[in-house]
Amino acid sequence: MPSPTRKKRAAAGPQFDLAAYLDRAVPFVDQGLDRLLPPARTKPRTLHEAMRYSIFAGGKRLRPVLCLAAAEACRGDWEAALPLACAVECVHTYSLIHDDLPAMDDDDLRRGKPTNHKVYGEGVAILAGDALVTHAFELVAGSLGWARYNHQALVGELAHAAGSLQLIAGQVADLEGEGAQLSRAELKYIHERKTSALLCCSVRLGGMSANCRPGELKALTDFGYHVGLAFQVIDDILDVTQSTEKLGKTAGKDEAVAKATYPSLVGMEASRAIARRLTRRAFRALESFPKKRAAALHALAEYLLNRDH
Amino acid sequence: MPSPTRKKRAAAGPQFDLAAYLDRAVPFVDQGLDRLLPPARTKPRTLHEAMRYSIFAGGKRLRPVLCLAAAEACRGDWEAALPLACAVECVHTYSLIHDDLPAMDDDDLRRGKPTNHKVYGEGVAILAGDALVTHAFELVAGSLGWARYNHQALVGELAHAAGSLQLIAGQVADLEGEGAQLSRAELKYIHERKTSALLCCSVRLGGMSANCRPGELKALTDFGYHVGLAFQVIDDILDVTQSTEKLGKTAGKDEAVAKATYPSLVGMEASRAIARRLTRRAFRALESFPKKRAAALHALAEYLLNRDH
């Protein structure tokens, strides 16, 4: 009997070619970021080079691509979603730069390259992160704005997801949880904030850029929330099972700093089952969309479940 | 013959009581911040406590008060300006927290108290700064928005002033300038960004919250720019002439790290003359406003020129 994942894949249409989709979407995002960030030669050069160093360090562009795919699911187009997709990627990159600092996770390697502070020093790395999160809001301000979702709604959306109750709350709880014995509820609290909040925000902003209906926004929220949680469970699994080379970041880190993870709490097999269950919930959230329009979102969620790095 | 400063003071009306004005305005801002920031008990507590620690560490509230006074100058009221005034104070406080970090200015003392990272550790201090700048945009998104200045304009305004071309550019140039021989033009470049940009933004946002006319916004821009430059020249002078106790932050710091300042470049007396000239330029920018309406802005600029800490 095929696994539920495979069944759903068939339901979404086996003909969806995610590799071809990413071959179009990723360069589209890359070009957008290149156009929407200040050029590297802008004064002060060190700062703008540092911002671009991490933005163009080979990220998978998962969040911006989810944003574009969500726009598509709601009859929107990539061009209108692009500033919001880039804003989310700026927030994501800033959070990685700051997380990698010696005062936080103290990581030397990210996406197979030296981390920002290793190249530019801690001071500039902190400021490059600061500049990226600030630029994210400038990008949202520079977006079109839509009938149902004006700039007030868009900025509020991003600020909330990136703020002290979500993304940053997750990072603080993660930091404080090191070496502590966490319950599953506490671990879920961290994952919801550290990972799910910005992923969810990415698809919501995509939907908003298509001036989506309230019901569609609700479905996207549900989808983003579950994909985000599944993403983090898989991340924790890969930290155990994969090599530093494969991941492009230091493997085995969680165990080294005694970080609570799903594998450490419930074991590897149960963690895999949880990730699959969360992904099925994400699939279910897409059922209200016509299959073809949501095919990219569906394929992305499946890809994230089965990825090996 | 009275100095031009005194002449202008007379022109603004000798009856303006700045002390009484600040006695009303500062608690108004404090109460606004208390209401508009997440409570200290909000999870994660460490983060929200750290945010509030620096916000309520006894700052002079110069920028928010300038914002309120600018609103007044344009027939606006304090209540409408308040979220923007608080947003600017959040940005200012975040920039201080990050500037004080060991990787930057490495300061142990701010406003007479231990700096944020001394109390909460570097990791939480970085995240508290991140949370404050993010919250600033949430506050702008939560403001009313006005006919001439919608949320797009307000967010763009703050993001630009706080971004990689202004506030952060100034901080990077300041960091890179330590130990270097700077020209007056290079020093001005730093001051314009490090100090003037956010001060200017404060009065502009105040004007916008009063739905000010374009000519009024231009006058406020001119005022804020020159007050900002004068403020930094005075700051450099006080770093030499005042004690750590008086300043509430480490005095003599600029010389210790061989930072270029106006006193080091042109001498103390010439620096004082420059600050007076800049303040006169700021006064001149106010001439297009009815005297009474701009009296608070006028008195604030004069106070900043003559302050001793």
B83-97 pLDDT, tens digit each:
999 999 999 999 999
The sign of the torsion formed by the CA atoms of A167, A168, A171, A176 equals negative
A121 lies within 8 A of chain B by CB: yes
pLDDT of res. A181: 87
The arithmetic mean of pLDDT across residues B210-236, rounded, is: 97
Phi, psi of A7 (to 5 degrees): -55, -50
B169-210 pLDDT, tens digit each:
999 999 898 888 899 999 999 999 999 999 999 999 999 999
In the numeric block, the tokens 């604030």 are attached to: B300
Pairwise CA distance, residues A40 & A158, whole Å: 25
The sign of the torsion formed by the CA atoms of A181, A187, A189, A195 equals positive
Pairwise CA distance, residues A148 & B147, whole Å: 18
Q: Is the pLDDT of residue B11 over 80?
A: no
Q: Is A10 a member of any domain?
A: no
Residues 73..112 of A with a Cβ closer than 8 Å to B: which? 94, 98, 101, 103-104
DSSP-assigned states of every residue in B156-212:
HHHHHHHSTTTHHHHHHHHHHHTTS---HHHHHHHHIIIIIHHHHHHHHHHHHHTT-
Contacts of B181 (CB under 8 A, 6+ apart): B260
Of B172, B191, B204, B193, which Cα lies nearest the Cα of B274?
Answer: B191
B130 lies within 8 A of chain A by CB: yes
- Chain B CB contacts of A47 under 8 Å are 164, 168-169, 172
Task: Answer yes or no: are the C-beta atoms of A158 and A87 closer than 8 Å.
Answer: yes
Residues 131..170 of A with a Cβ closer than 8 Å to B: which? 131, 133-135, 137-138, 140-142, 145, 150-153, 155-156, 158-160, 162-165, 168-169
User: What single-letter amino acid sits at A255?
Assistant: E
The arithmetic mean of pLDDT across residues A278-290, rounded, is: 98
B37-79 pLDDT, tens digit each:
999 999 999 999 999 999 999 999 999 999 999 999 999 999 9
Contact B164/A47, CB-based, under 8 Å? yes
pLDDT of res. A12: 47
pLDDT of res. A14: 55
The arithmetic mean of pLDDT across residues B280-288, rounded, is: 98
Q: Is A4 a member of any domain?
A: no
* pTM for the structure as a whole: 0.94
What share of chain B in percent tops pLDDT 70? 95
Quote the distance between the C-alpha of residue A232 and its chain's center.
Answer: 10
Contact B134/A47, CB-based, under 8 Å? no
Q: Is the pLDDT of residue A50 over 90?
A: yes
Q: Is A154 a member of any domain?
A: yes
Cβ neighbours of B183 (radius 10 Å): 10
Specify the range with the lowest mean pLDDT, choosing from A128-137, A242-251, B111-120, B166-175.
A242-251
Three-state SS string over A164-228 comes to: CCCHHHHHHHHHHHCCCCCCHHHHHHHHHHHHHHHHHHHHHHHHHHCCCCHHHHHHHHHHHHHHH
Which one of A132, A133, A172 would you mutate to disrupt binding with B, by most B Cβ within 10 Å of its Cβ?
Answer: A172
What share of chain A in percent tops pLDDT 70? 95
Q: Is A131 a member of any domain?
A: yes
Which one of A93, A126, A188, A190 would you mutate to disrupt binding with B, by most B Cβ within 10 Å of its Cβ?
Answer: A126
Q: Is A54 a member of any domain?
A: yes
Question: What value does the mean pLDDT of chain B take?
Answer: 93
What distances in angstroms separate CA B73 from CA B29, B83, B200, B207, B284, one per listed residue? 18, 18, 15, 8, 14
Q: Is the pLDDT of residue A185 over 50?
A: yes
A5 lies within 8 A of chain B by CB: no
Task: Answer yes or no: are the C-beta atoms of A261 and A37 closer than 8 Å.
Answer: no
Give the confidence band of B3 by pLDDT, cuts at 50, 70, 90.
Answer: very low
Contact A165/B137, CB-based, under 8 Å? no
In the numeric block, the tokens 């201090």 are attached to: B125
Domain range for A113 is: 16-306
Pairwise CA distance, residues A122 & A82, whole Å: 30
Pairwise CA distance, residues B142 & A20, whole Å: 41
pLDDT of res. B247: 78
Q: Is A11 a member of any domain?
A: no
Task: Answer yes or no: are the C-beta atoms of A26 and A61 closer than 8 Å.
Answer: yes
Chain A residue with minimal CA distance to B137? A159
Peptide bond into A44 cis (omega under 30): yes
- Which CATH number goes with the domain that contains B131? 1.10.600.10
Contact B47/A168, CB-based, under 8 Å? yes
Which one of B91, B94, B152 would you mutate to disrupt binding with A, by most A Cβ within 10 Å of its Cβ?
Answer: B152
Query: A113-130: buried (b, 16+ CB within 10 Å) or exposed (e) per residue?
Result: bebbbbebebbbbbbbbb
The arithmetic mean of pLDDT across residues B17-28, rounded, is: 98
Residues 185..244 of B with a Cβ closer than 8 Å to A: which? none
Which one of B84, B90, B149, B164 would you mutate to disrupt binding with A, by most A Cβ within 10 Å of its Cβ?
Answer: B164
Of A181, A195, A185, which Cα lies nearest the Cα of A234?
Answer: A195
Phi, psi of A63 (to 5 degrees): -65, -50
Contact B173/A44, CB-based, under 8 Å? yes
Provide the shortest C-alpha distance from residue A281 to chain B (in Å): 27
Of B126, B94, B98, B45, which Cα lies nearest the Cα of A176?
Answer: B45
> What's the structural domain count of chain B?
1
Pairwise CA distance, residues A68 & A71, whole Å: 5
Taking CB atoms and an 8 Å cut-off, how many pairs form between chains A and B? 155
